[in-house]
Structure 1
Amino acid sequence: MEVINPQAAGIDIGSRSHWVAVGQTEQDVREFGVYNQDLFGMADWLKERNIKTVAMESTGTYWQNLFAVLISRGFHVILCNGKFTKNIKGKKSDVMDCQWIQKLHTLGLLSSSFLPDEQTEQLCTYCRHRSNLIHSAASTSKKMQKYLRLINLRLDVVVKDICGLTGLLIIRAICDGESDPLKLAALRHGNCRKSEEEIALALQSNDRKDYLFALQQELETYDHLQQKIEQCDVEIEKKLAQIIDSDQDKREHFIDPKPHKRINKNTPKNIDLNLKSYQMFEGTDFLAIEGMSYSTVLALMGEVGFDGIKRFKTAKHFASWLRLAPNNKVSGGKVLSSKIPKGSNRLKIALRNAANAIGNLKESTPLRDFFQRINFRKVRVSAVSATARN
């Protein structure tokens, strides 16, 4: 086969050491550690061997520091998916792995994975950390509901969300030592559908001190997580302002607020995502699309960004990267399979959630009608995937 990259190296990424191959002989392979001085030593050794381009697997998070060092030294780095380098025959070792990667890269058989720009990557870190905090808070909420049930305080029956306005007021009063059902029911918020009498009937405690102690601990954890989420929102706002203020084309756009758009408790309160997203994507109003929520737009900004979307040639390439396009397998003129490939990311999950919300709409819209047609011919799972792809 024709050599495409003659000055190429292959790196097998590890947690304790990295194996580097610049050729197929034993003398062309070296092992380097993972400390900072080892990474710079690897870059110097590659410079001595006149290497121009480097290929490596995206193994966990171990590749990130090495990737940054090699990019700063002027190397062209290819970060490839590990499934494209696992066809080696015979015995498997770190030396053989790095030589196999080097051979594939020399022949031009490896393609680079998508990586966002530095600003979008930093925003992605904040957004993902915020999402993890929300999941932790949801887990803490379930534990509070469990301990309330063990104390025989069936707040979950009379209140839709125990971490809503009414639920948190009652839980805080319980943790402060209040046990009178009537006084607890008097804390009911005006928007609560249940009456004070119904709430009081559900708040007959069995006075278990151990469960009450555990409930107090979980409430403190929940409050701590909410504080961390607010701090994360401040950092996200700073990063969005930095990205938008550095680009004149983004700053000049303005859009009126959407008061009809629902804002739930997990939506950042200090960020006008309607305006920020409109400026980020230079005049594209994603929130005008039915089913799109603030969390979906935030995931879109954090995972790919405006410059990241432009790096895909067509919308079909973008849908394929999201694992939303059918993977047709044809042999002998016969379609063997057309299932969507395995794999997922946070943006795919957000778009599927938006598509599911479109399927629940009562009013007729183009996307909702499309969803119903697919749902009628196939199943809801296929309709969700097809609508998310559109």
Structure 2
Amino acid sequence: MKKKQISLEVVNPNAAGIDIGSRSHWVAVGQNAQDVKEFGVYSQDHQELCEWLKKHKVTTIAMESTGTYWQNLFSSLVVFGFDVILVNGRQTKNIKGKKTDILDCQWIQKLHTLRLLSSSFLPDSTTAVIRTYSRHRQNILKQSASAILKMQKYLRLMNMRLDVVVKDIVGLTGTKIITAFIGGEKSGKVLAQNRHYNCRKSEDEISRALQYNGREDYYFALKQEWETYLHLQKQIDQVDIQIKKHLEEVINNDDDKKQHIASKKPYKRKNKNTIRNADMNQLSYQYFEGVDLMAIEGVNDATLMAFISEIGLEGINKFESAKQFTSWLRLAPNNKISGGRVLSHHLPKGSNRLKVALRQAANTIGNLKDGHLSDFFRRINYKKGRATAISATARKLAVIIWNMLTRGIPYHPPTEYLFLDQKRKLKLVNRIKRNIAKFDIKPEDIGLTKILNIST
């Protein structure tokens, strides 16, 4: 009986596969032993690797993303003119059996030859620079938060219960008290005089909470953590300057960006961890070429910075539809169907910084009292709980933002959300209208006719 054979079409005949390593890279241009070669990780080795690939007439290359080891080689290959795709390690898993570097690079080459690998998302060069600054800033913020927790611990061990009487120990009141305490002042009554007038606790209660027990070891540790915290705050300021400078350079070098002027939004609250001394409303409006993302309720400076640094304007245009974008964010349900029946429809595991930013914005929307997105959040929350409502609202936000950035569709919700100053103005106008109708006030009674005549 004749054996059946199944053949797959070769789509990329001049393909190569690279298995990335920390000390060396294994490259395969075919499935024979002589088609595999090992190269080092230095710049000279990258040059030799590119020339070897040119010699074998390779045009397209697939490499597995392994930590940050792939980045320098990726740049070298792009400069040489190769078509390079970066592949997630989940796609390149080999069948069970003996695992070696040679077999891995040959397996990657075989899959890429048959076009069974899909490329991971990579930002453009401008977005990559801002991403580096932004992620470095987030790491410093985490270190700063850790330093605050340690200071709070040492203050508690010294019987200085600053965390009880103030909401934030590094706020206006807490900063002055800690600075004076480290400066040598140990009296609780004198330290309490640094109370800010907005503090809810009285000066007497603050003085009773600050009774130093004389532990010099904890005092020394607190002093060093305070110095660390101040140093980290200086670093954050320096990173903020770099981010603002780079964004302004990108905007000023593009006539399509710098011509736009955003409307001011004083009703948008600023978080203490957002970029300082920078108007993100104006910068994002210019960066996205006249698209006002800040008009969406729940979107703040952190959400805008996440979009600018993680995907950018060019990056979001790589997604052909909002479904692709939400699927990449892992906010779309992963439907598993068998026998015509849906087995599960949970969100796929995994997260990224942009997804986290959208979920935080969705959580903020859930705390609003009214608005189109807030009503949507409450409907889902009532049916399936807050966790599901946050995911659903984050996905809805992603779809809205994709449509705004790719199609230029402005945000016009069916029921417009009114911010605090807008609500106050509306209430005042309605009260004036009621009083005019109640007392039958004519324009001439309050001198409006004279004003109108003067203006005309």
TM class, shorter-chain normalised? over 0.9
Structure 2 residue 74 is matched with structure 1 residue 54: no
- Does structure 2 retain, via aligned residues, the 8 Å contact 1:12–1:20? yes
Does residue 109 of structure 1 match 2:116?
A: yes
Question: C-alpha distance in 1, partners of 2:292/2:298?
Answer: 13
SS at match of 2:90: helix
Q: Quick one: which of 324, 334, 348 aligns to 1:327?
A: 334
Q: Which has the higher contact order (CA 8 A, sep 6+)?
A: 1
- Structure 2 spans left out of the alignment, 5+ residues: 1-7, 397-456
Secondary structure in structure 2 of the residue aligned to 1:56: strand
Match of 1:367 among 373, 378, 388: 373
Number of positions where the alignment pairs a residue of Structure 1 with one of Structure 2: 389
8 Å Cα contact 2:94-2:107 kept in structure 1: no
Equivalent-residue separation in structure 1 for 2:244 and 2:19 (angstroms): 38
| 2:120 partner letter | S
SS of aligned partner of 1:84: coil
The one-letter code sitting in structure 2 at the alignment partner of 1:243 is V
Q: Specify which of 9, 23, 28 is matched with residue 16 of structure 1.
A: 23
Distance 2:345 2:380 in 1: 15
**Counterpart for residue 388 of structure 1:** 394
Aligned to 2:135: 128
Give, in whole Å, the separation in 2 of the partners of 1:29 and 1:133: 43
> Matches of 2:90 and 2:280 in 1, distance apart?
37
**1:19 to partner: Cα distance:** 0.5
1:295 maps to what in 2?
302
C-alpha distance after superposition, 1:243-264 (max 9, x if no partner): 1112111111101221111112
1:249 maps to 2:263: no
User: CA contact under 8 A between 2:94 and 2:104: conserved in structure 1?
Assistant: no
* Structure 1 range deviating more: 40-49 or 81-90: 81-90
CA distance in 2, matches of 1:209, 1:141: 19
SS at match of 1:83: coil
Matches of 1:276 and 1:30 in 2, distance apart? 48
Structure 1 CA distance, aligned partners of 2:26 and 2:375? 54
Hey, what does 2:435 align to over in structure 1? none
CA contact (8 A) 1:88 1:100 kept: no
Q: How does 1:58-97 map to 2 (within 5 A)?
A: 58-97=65-104
SS in structure 1 opposite 2:86? strand
For residues 257-289 of structure 1, the C-alpha deviation after alignment (integer angstroms, 9 at most, x for no partner) is 211111122122221100000111111111111
C-alpha distance in 1 between matches for 2:380 and 2:245: 42
Which of the numbers 223, 226, 231 marks the counterpart of 1:224? 231
3-state DSSP class of the match of 1:82? Answer: coil
| TM-score normalised by the chain length of structure 2 | 0.84
Q: Quick check: 240-249 or 117-126, which moved more?
A: 240-249
Task: Tell whether 2:384 aligns with 1:378.
Answer: yes
Task: Determine whether 1:161 maps to 2:163.
Answer: no
Deviation at 1:175, TM superposition (A): 0.9
Gaps of 5+ in 1: none
Identical columns (%): 62
* Superposition pairs of residues 125-204 of structure 1, within 5 angstroms: 125-204=132-211
**Residue 112 of structure 2 aligns to which amino acid in structure 1?**
H
The DSSP-based 3-state class of the residue aligned with 1:197 is: helix
In 1, distance between residues paired with 2:39 and 2:94? 25
In 2: Cα distance, 1:18 partner to 1:87 partner:
18
Alignment of 1:305-324 (within 5 A): 305-324=312-331
Aligned equivalents of 1:154, 1:17: Cα separation in 2 = 55
The alignment's TM-score, normalised by the length of structure 1, stands at 0.98
Q: C-alpha separation between the residues in 1 aligned to 2:253 and 2:96? A: 50
Displacement of 1:87 in angstroms is 3.7
